[in-house]
Structure 1
Amino acid sequence: MVLYPVMRKFLDKRVVLASASPRRQEILSHAGLRFTVVPSKFKENLSKASFPTPYAYAMETAKQKALEVARRMHQKDLRAPDIVIGADTIVALEGLILEKPVDKTDAYSMLSRLSGKEHSVFTGVAIVQCSSQGGGLDLDVSEFYEETRVRFSQLSEELLWEYIHSGEPLDKAGGYGYGTQALGSVLVEAIHGDFLNVRGFPLNRFCKKLAELYHPPRPEDRPREKQDSIPAVDTFDRLGDSEGAGPGQGGARGDRCRPRAPGREHAKDADCKPSVESVPPTAVLELIDGYKVSKALFTACKMKLLDLLRDEGPLSALDVARKIDATAGPTGRLLDVCVAFGLLDKTERGYSNTPLASLYLLSDGEHSLHSLALHNDNHTWHLYNHLDSIVREGANPHQRALQSTADSPFQESFYQSREKLQFMRAMHGLIKVVARQVATAFDLSGFTSACDLGGSTGALAYELARQYPGLKVTVFDLPEVIEDAEYFQPHGPPTGQVSFVPGHFFRDTLPEADLYIVCRILHDWPDDKVHQLLSRISRSCKPGGGLLLVEMLLDEDKREARSAVVQSLNMAVLFQGRERSLSEYRSLLQAHGFTDVRAVSTGSIADAVLATRA
């Protein structure tokens, strides 16, 4: 009943638990929380090696579970729940993560390791506050973890197998259950911390987090000594819908997930003088070292290490060095960096690719970003040496670094150079990654013809044709692009749905279509060019026709959607362009005669915006 006062404030809110765990449901129900259970469909296949700590892995898994449910519910009825709770519990022994055993043999292996030892139970919890306004979805993520230390008795073979044959270990992290009715309790010699955390949900810490989120204490109210108990009930009573009390006050944001930025959690303690103990330098050092990680990735791609390990791995560092004619020591260190960041696995047999690398970094993969890495290494990397000049002068660096002219956009320069195919492969990989999500973000079955302006290799056009058999798609791009588009045609017999027409979308007449598509184009151009292109599309688009934009959406404050914020800076470096928020796109489109502007987050590298010609 501890949570009951705050639950009164949630009676008119949709609270969802993104978990099918009966133990978590029981814990929260007994606490007085009213909620709906919507099990997450997130595939728990994150690379454990890419996380610095076990609890970081648990928190990320919990967050992804909750985000998947929030986005799925929003796409289903265009109304997200108010709060989605995600959780993930793992057992860690000496840094090794033990999750649910796959069978009895696996359960025996886990429990044997735990016998007579102390281990940690970590539960990561994500609280996602949702607001859906104007067709967009705003997501504010708060996350935490709880650790409980558990010591097992020395377990006999007889006890181990008797417990395993009971069937209880097979659906529990680490292979054992704990609670008043759990048989696994007889294995436990001592427990230090929240016992409900071992059962799957740290209720005490959850209560504190709710109080922190919905009613942060004033400085004068903060206790002078550390408090381990649940906050007093009256701290919950002032939770309500008053200004500043809930998420989504700023309007639609096009599904922007807003995790707490490193260091920002200390901002509320501004009355306390920061110290290296209270504000560790980890986040700053990671930013300083970030370029080194990128360069390591670029080098691994340039040397085709991932292709080699796909074909011949696992291989030792010495074997890899011999096969690429390199030095063993530095090669091993490069491989170890790739292990640390989740690209490679390392066992006694040697190094091998993780699913992440196999999917995205093989040079010939269907969804390969290998060429994108090489393009960034060869052509984007050095342009950031001019960032201070851009900030000071607002000048396009390509006029100096690439001897480009104002009439020769960066993309056209590459399309007319010997690097054209590499650039096309880079763009092809980017669009392939997000094509299916974009094609299915909205129901486009009402359109019979579409024109993809600047559609390059046709990656999105072919996916639209697959999803909508009655849709004919024209790819409209520069002649030098069209001449090489055949290299990127998908396998199988052509359907006749996709055609390629050469032209310049600023100069030539646009092909007629019911639906115009502009995918990762507008962010390349300054505002005057964006207005010029939208004006041309508006004149060609008939009333009732559609315009589909595919871009990364900024949040309205332009500070939380990190990938989009960085990409917006990148556009300034490359093209004098920028990313925009949903409200900015809505204003742009309405100024050119488009209405009913809606946005859907794809959960990938770009979002989708659909508008209708008035």
Structure 2
Amino acid sequence: MVLYPVMRKLLDKRVVLASASPRRQEILSHAGLRFTVVPSKFKENLSKASFPTPYAYAMETAKQKALEVARRMHQKDLRAPDIVIGADTIVALEGLILEKPVDKTDAYSMLSRLSGKEHSVFTGVAIVQCSSQGGGLDLDVSEFYEETRVRFSQLSEELLWEYIHSGEPLDKAGGYGIQALGGMLVEAIHGDFHNVVGFPLNRFCKKLAELYHPPRPEDRPREKQDSIPAEDTFDGLGDSEGAGPGQGGARGDRRRPRAPGREHAKDADRKPSVESVPPTAVLELIDGYKVSKALFTACKMKLFDLLRDKGPLSALDVARKIGASEGGTGQLLDVCAGLGLLDKTEGGYSNTPLATLYLLSDGEYSLHSFIMTQEEVSWPFFSYLDFAVREGTVQAQRAMGTAGEDHYQESFYKNREKKLQFMRAMHGHTKVAARQVATAFDLSGFTSACDLGGCTGALAYELARQYPGLKVTVFDLPEVIEDAVCFQPHGPEAGQVSFVPGDFFQDTLPEADLYILSKILHNWPDDKVHQLLSRISRSCKPGGGLLVAEQLLDEDKCRPLPALMMSLNMTVLFQARERSLSEYRSLLQAHGFTDVRAVRTGSTSDAVLATRA
């Protein structure tokens, strides 16, 4: 494989490194690469939970860093660089991503977890090739990741604190730097040392050689696949998007970056093979339903509650307490550990921070009831996905034994227990993104708001916390309002929120300066959406606002994956869907709303704000 000579191919190229890391700059400079440093302004706030693996998260972050720099330089100079390189390094222990510690206490927590264990260091790298034609920007993304396995010695308290007090851990992923004092913590390393420092030089050179110095077909080595297809998220994630993709004439915004295995699809000499395109990604997709079912079962058995109260526990102890077989329980616990939900030590199993935050049935940000709703409602409907696709109808009769719109009541309001479970599901799913939605725009100019279908008031209470002068009315069905008190917080914001029963399709809407639709429009087909927006438009005074909180699809409708899957879920349940920003803009403008802006929050809901003309 040609390594260094490929650098000469780039001497006439304008190369930009989208990173301020001095370690990456040093590695690439020593390799003979000439480049300019333009640190990325991309906010690294992607939801880690939305990625199937740590390396998918690292690759997506690297890609977004590089894309942000390429687009910014093109907008500023009307000329993009030839190549932009983005990179992101993370440490992963048993599926849990460890980034830079926020303080010494966090550093101690990280290093204690790594002590005596083997962990992975992943670096995601994106190489963005840019071309400007006719004022537009064309982007072609190649991406890969490198993994290095690192084992720490058993660290004493004295050694831990001595290292922490040196100050070195605070700007390092995982809380250590192997190239400096942190090297004394490392017992063994398997893989590329430079990857642990911050940049996988060997793999990077091979990728450059593939792109700029391709070997002849007969000389081509049989290499392992560089990476799995990247998990797709927002192409232009940033603070605010006032226009749809293509803003500034950047045609590349609409292009789906080609995944590995498709990069040379037009090259007749590079036919895919099981060596160049291994089946790993397909096998992971096949196993996807097993992962979901394992999570559903663990939550149904309340394993995470048990381990919170009694853990750490052995498999035998857990089996006895839940009345299950030791063998089956052990298998389920091991799968949860493999998924990063549990820690497994000699002392037994215990919850990871991910499980503690989201999987306890009574946690502040619990998704337990949301998971149970997926198990009990979505799972049966998805069993008839083929019928839903062929017929274009809701499969309520096959899945629930009910016909027509009655399945909504049957699924979520059959009895008080089911209703409360659904309300808890909506409360948790809304609350995890409530702060991001509430602060996506400056709403301080509004004095009153009405959250239509606001359920438990999770978003309303957060708006009240963020804007002390705002009075918020939650308008929802009487059977919902009667139990909303169960979710009332104890803070002063409770006095700013009131609840009014009603049906937003039939009853008069409460007056407000700002109307809110959070996870509402994706429940309905277009005719019902137009009907609801028409009613809001008539109630909203000129200068008033409409805030929509939904998961935004990109314009090509092929990403991000969480929004795609939610859209499919809405199609299966209600023959409804998620929408893109341009679709929301058209809908809202058709009903007299202008100045449609969006913020992609990186959480479970994005935010769209429009003004009544």
Aligned partner letter, 1:547:
L
Counterparts of 2:273 and 2:395 in 1: how far apart (Å)? 39
Shift of 1:318: 0.3
Q: Which residue of 1 aligns with 2:145?
A: 145
Paired position in structure 1 for 2:376: 378
- Give the aligned CA root-mean-square deviation in angstroms: 5.1
Aligned mates of 2:388, 2:396 — CA distance in 1: 11
Which of 286, 298, 301 in structure 1 is aligned with 2:299? 301
1:135-534 residue pairs with structure 2 within 5 A? 143-146=143-146, 197=195, 199-203=197-201, 205-206=203-204, 209=207, 224-226=218-220, 264=262, 267=265, 272-404=270-402, 406-408=404-406, 410=408, 414-415=412-413, 417-418=415-416, 419-493=418-492, 495-534=494-533
Q: Which moved more, 1:380-389 or 1:199-208?
A: 199-208
Give 1:241's aligned residue: none
Counterpart Cα distance in 2 of 1:574 and 1:165: 52
What's the offset of the Cα at 1:381? 1.0
C-alpha distance 509-307 of structure 1, shift in aligned 2 (>3 A): same
CA gap of 1:496–1:343, structure 2 versus 1, over 3 A, is same
SS in 1 for 2:516: strand
Per the alignment, residue 25 of structure 2 pairs with 25
Residues in 2 aligned to 1:320 and 1:169: alpha-carbon distance in whole angstroms: 40
Deviations 1:262-317 (A, max 9, x none): 86557456654443333322222222222121111111111111000000100000
- Structure 1: stretches of 5+ with no match in the other structure: 132-137, 152-159, 229-246
- Range that drifts further, 141-150 or 498-507: 141-150
Shift, 1:197, TM fit: 4.6
- Tell me, yes or no, if the aligned pair for 2:41 and 2:69 is still in contact at 8 Å: no
Q: CA deviation at 1:256?
A: 10
Contact 2:427 2:456 in 1 (8 A): yes
Aligned to 2:535, what secondary structure does the other structure show?
helix
Distance in 2 of aligned mates of 1:554 and 1:96: 27
| AA of the residue aligned to 1:345 | D
Other-structure match for 2:37: 35
Q: Distance in 1 between matches of 2:381 and 2:43?
A: 41
Letter of the 2:408 partner, please give it.
F
Q: In the alignment, what sits opposite 1:6?
A: 13
Partners of 1:319 and 1:440 in 2: how far apart? 45
Question: 1:518, CA displacement in angstroms?
Answer: 0.5
| CA pair 481-252 structure 1, distance change in 2 beyond 3 A | farther
Distance of aligned partners of 1:453 and 1:280 in 2 relative to their CA distance in 1, 3 Å threshold: same
The CA deviation at 1:164 is: 8.5
Distance 1:264 1:532, change over 3 A: farther
Q: Is the 8 A contact 2:464 2:493 kept in 1?
A: no
Task: Provide closer, same or farther for how the CA distance between residues 510 and 39 of structure 1 changes in structure 2, counting only shifts above 3 A.
Answer: closer
Shift in CA distance, 46/562, structure 1 to aligned 2, threshold 3 Å? closer
Q: May I ask how many residue pairs the two structures share in their alignment?
A: 552
For 1:60, the equivalent position in structure 2 comes to 57
Equivalent residue, structure 2, for 1:124: 124
Whether the 8 Å contact between 1:472 and 1:498 is mirrored in structure 2 is: yes
Distance in 2 between residues matched to 1:109 and 1:584, nearest whole Å: 46
Contact in 1 for aligned 2:551/2:563 (Cα 8 Å): yes
Shift of 1:225: 2.1
In structure 1, distance between residues paired with 2:212 and 2:517:
47
Counterpart of 1:85, as a letter, is G
Residue 552 of structure 1: aligned partner:
551
Deviations 1:413-442 (A, max 9, x none): 623534111111111110011101100111
**CA contact under 8 A between 2:245 and 2:254: conserved in structure 1?**
no
2:89 is paired with a residue of what secondary structure?
A: strand
Give the 3-state SS of the residue equivalent to 1:496 in structure 2.
Answer: helix
User: How many angstroms apart in 1 are the aligned matches of 2:471 and 2:139?
Assistant: 36
Once the 2 structures are TM-superposed, how far is the Cα of residue 344 of structure 1 from its aligned partner? 0.5
Q: What is the rounded CA distance, in whole Å, between the counterparts of 2:482 and 2:177 in structure 1?
A: 61
2:80 maps to 1:86: no
Residues 413-422 or 541-550, more deviating: 413-422
SS at match of 2:433: helix
Deviates more, 1:352-361 or 1:483-492: 483-492
* CA distance in structure 2 between the aligned counterparts of 1:109 and 1:455, rounded to whole angstroms: 40
1:231 aligns to what? none
Q: Which residue of 1 aligns with 2:583?
A: 584
1:554 to partner: Cα distance: 1.1
CA–CA distance in 1 between the matches of 2:273 and 2:441?
Answer: 50
Deviation string, structure 1 residues 225-262 (Cα, Å, up to 9, x no partner): 2489xxxxxxxxxxxxxxxxxx9659899x99977668
Partner Cα separation in structure 2 for residue 124 and residue 316 of structure 1: 36
Give the whole-Å Cα distance in 2 for the aligned partners of 1:301 and 1:192. 36
- Residues 128-161 of structure 1: CA deviation (Å, up to 9, x unaligned): 8999xxxxxx99975323468999xxxxxxxx99
The verdict on how the C-alpha distance between 1:142 and 1:409 changes in structure 2, with shifts beyond 3 A counting, is farther
SS in 1 for 2:287: helix
Which AA in structure 1 matches 2:383? N
Find the counterpart in structure 1 of residue 594 from structure 2: 595
Tell me if the contact between 1:556 and 1:581 (Cα under 8 Å) persists in the aligned partners: yes
Distance (whole Å) between structure 1 residues aligned to residue 565 and residue 557 of structure 2: 10
Structure 2 stretches lacking a partner, 5+ long:
1-6, 132-137, 152-158, 223-243
Q: CA deviation at 1:35?
A: 2.4
Deviation at 1:530, TM superposition (A): 0.7
| Greater alpha carbon shift after TM alignment, 364-373 vs 81-90 | 81-90
> Does the 8 Å contact 1:600/1:608 carry over to 2?
yes
Displacement of 1:72 after TM fit?
13
Shift of 1:198: 6.0
What is the SS of the residue equivalent to 1:554?
A: coil
Cα deviation digits, residues 44-87 of structure 1 (max 9, x gap) = 9979xx98xxxx64663464477589899999xx99x9867233
The change in CA–CA distance for 1:141 and 1:581 in structure 2 (over 3 A counts) is farther
Q: Which residue of 1 aligns with 2:231?
A: none
TM-score in terms of structure 1 length: 0.75
Question: 1:27 and 1:281, CA in 2 relative to 1: closer, same or farther beyond 3 A?
Answer: closer
Alpha-carbon displacement from aligned partner over 1:172-202 (angstroms, at most 9, x marks no partner) = 7896755xxx7999999x9999775565323
Q: Specify the SS of the correspondent of 1:553.
A: coil
Structure 1: which amino acid aligns with 2:12? Answer: P
SS in 2 for 1:511: coil
Shift of 1:224: 3.9
Percent sequence identity over aligned pairs: 67
CA shift, 1:125, in A, is 2.6
Does the aligned pair in 2 maintain the 1:44–1:61 contact within 8 Å?
A: no
Note closer, same or farther for the CA distance 1:265–1:342 as it changes in structure 2 (3 Å cut).
Answer: farther
Is the Cα–Cα contact under 8 Å of residues 434 and 604 in structure 1 kept in the other structure? yes
Q: Which residue of 2 aligns with 1:609?
A: 608
Query: Quick check: 2:521–2:529 contact (8 Å CA) kept in 1?
Result: yes
Secondary structure of the residue that 1:383 maps to in structure 2?
helix
